[in-house]
Amino acid sequence: MAGLTSTTPTPESLTVHGQSRVLEIGFSDGAHFRIPFELMRVYSPSAEVQGHGPGQEVLQTGKREVNVVDLEPIGNYAVKPVFSDGHDSGLFSWDYLYQLGSRQAQLWADYEARLQAAGVDRDAPMLAAGGHACSSH
């Protein structure tokens, strides 16, 4: 996920499926993925989700029903989804989307392990920094 190189597969097709809540993406190397919006949202590359360093990640919950309401192209290297919960600060580069697609099973397992370790449910409302439920995130 370090960045684009001349060997980085590039998207040849990109479709937002609002009803099934998946981003369908086909790459130049023949790989084809259906990435759930929830997975994209909980692994958003934004500082809001990832923090500013190791150990600063913010566990995302309550994102099962999230939709992508807009998908903005960023140059020739990324897209910026606008999620229905208002999150819009993550830039998803082609290599990051490829990693999300190709590592879905492991990422889901990691996410579920983090939820279990935190003692929270996947559908629990997000907690604000002070520990209070916050419906704006």
In a domain, 129, yes or no: no
Q: Is 12 helix (H, G, I), strand (E, B) or coil?
A: strand
In this predicted structure, the answer to whether residue 55 has a pLDDT above a threshold of 90 is no
pLDDT score for 8? 80
Q: CATH number of the domain that 93 lies in?
A: 3.30.2020.30
| Cα separation, 70 vs 78, whole angstroms | 14
Beta-bridge partner residues of 93? 78
In a domain, 126, yes or no: no
pLDDT score for 73? 95
- Best CA proximity match to 81, nearest among 93, 70, 66: 70
pLDDT score for 1? 41
Is 40 exposed, middle or buried, given 0-12, 13-18 or 19+ CB atoms closer than 10 A? buried
Over range 115-130, report the average pLDDT.
84
In a domain, 132, yes or no: no
pLDDT score for 52? 87
pLDDT in tens, 42-52: 999 999 999 88
Q: Which domain holds residue 64?
A: 11-118
In a domain, 19, yes or no: yes
In a domain, 62, yes or no: yes
CA-angle at 23, arms to 103 and 100, nearest 5° = 15
In a domain, 130, yes or no: no
In a domain, 128, yes or no: no
In a domain, 133, yes or no: no
pLDDT in tens, 15-41: 999 999 999 999 999 999 999 999 999
Domain count of the fold of the chain: 1
pLDDT score for 95? 94
In this predicted structure, the answer to whether residue 137 has a pLDDT above a threshold of 90 is no
